[in-house]
Structure formats: C-alpha cells, structure tokens
Amino acid sequence: MSQIECVNNMDHKELQKLAKRHGFTLAKSGNLETLRDTAFKRMMKKHGVKYSDIPTRFYLEKMLPCFKEPVLFLGWAVYTAQYAKIIPMISVDYNPVTKPDIVADVTNKNLLTKLADYRREHGMRFRKFNTIVVNGVIGWGVNEDPAIDRCLKNCSDLLKANGKLLIGWNTKKTEGSSRVIKPDEMSKILKRNKFRNIEFLEDTPEDPEWQHKYYMCRK
C-alpha cells in the first residue's frame, strides 16, 4: 500500500474534511477528479497562495495539506515560503545558503529561535518533526557524498520515530545545479542512511526541463 498522501487520491469524505479544515464549501457529490481539482484550487485561493505552473512543483503543492505537522521545509525560497499559509511549517532560514549542515545542528541559534517562535505561536512543545521536506537542496549545493550523508543524518536526528522524509531533486543537469543523481542512486543513498519504506513517486508529472523527481521514505 502506498504511503503517499495527496489531494489527488482523496475520497469524497476526505475532501469534505479538507474543505472544513480550510474554511471553504465543496459539493458533497459529483465527479471525484473534478472535486479534487476544485478543492485544491479553493484551498489555495482561501489562503492567498498562487499555485505553480511548473508541473512537479504543482504536484508537491497537492501533497502539502496531507503532511503531518510539525513540518520542517528545507529548500526555502519566496515561492515556497508561502506554503506556510496552508500548513504550519518552518525552515532553517527564509532563503538559506545551501550548505552541508543546512538542516543545522540543534545548537544553531537561528533554528532554535524559529522553533521557539513556532511553539509560542501555536502553543505547542516539540523538538522533532513528523515531516521533513528536502527539496532542491541535494545537487544544488549539498553535492558530495559526505555532505549528503551529513544532511540526511541531521534529517533523521530531527525526525520523530516513523516520521516521513520527502526528497525532491533534479535528475537532469541544469543551470545552477552541481550534481545529477539518478533515481536508483538516490535510493541507495537513502538506504545507506538507514531510511526505510523508500517509495519513488512514479506518478510525478513529466518535467522535460528539470526532470525533478521525488522519493518518500520513513525514519
């Protein structure tokens, strides 16, 4: 059974829960594919978030409301920072300089400050995350095996038991990227770092320009 949760595979009951959680109305019956599309677009509009016209990022956006909180998102930029309007999430930095310790060791003042702010805002106490997203980081600064292993170890240290890690990366050399990693090689990297239930998201849309791919796995 797939561990991938996405608006694209929600049933009528789950769509109604999504609508209620995000404060919009949705027809209780009708073509399921149409309702999924309507629910996603109403959710984005409700929060003032413009959905992407890049197919693979659009695919990621449809997973957002299914992420289990708290969420750490690495690969933060202007176009992804707005996702925090949909589901509470934080990053190490608003627009971080990609580096081997991008996840940060837990003594990183910036990360601790953001964790403290999050706890105060939501009245929560936590030290670890249920979901970590690492998107556009590996191959874009975190390139060599020691740096990748360090990044993934830090992710593992910050994940709760059975927590989910979503990795997004390009499999095609593009301007700005420093390393191309094919899916089989990425799977080996994740296994080497003791992640399990490694699942390649085969229904990721075709993306000729970037050939961006995703893996979901668990600690």
Check residue 106 and give its pLDDT. Answer: 35
Question: What confidence tens digit (pLDDT) does each residue in 37-52 have?
Answer: 999 999 999 999 999 9
**Of 44, 54, 4, residue with least CA distance to 23:** 44
C-alpha to C-alpha distance for 65 and 88, rounded to whole angstroms: 10
pLDDT tens for residues 78-129? 778 888 889 888 776 555 554 444 444 433 445 555 556 666 666 656 668 8
pLDDT of amino acid 211: 82
- pLDDT tens, residue by residue, 9-30: 999 999 999 999 999 999 999 9
Please state the rounded mean pLDDT for residues 56-85.
86
Rounded distance between C-alpha atoms, residue 72 and residue 33, angstroms = 30
Per DSSP, the residues of 73-111 read EES--HHHHGGGGTS-EE-S-SSPPP-TTTT--TT-HHH
Q: Are 58 and 37 in contact (CB under 8 A)?
A: no
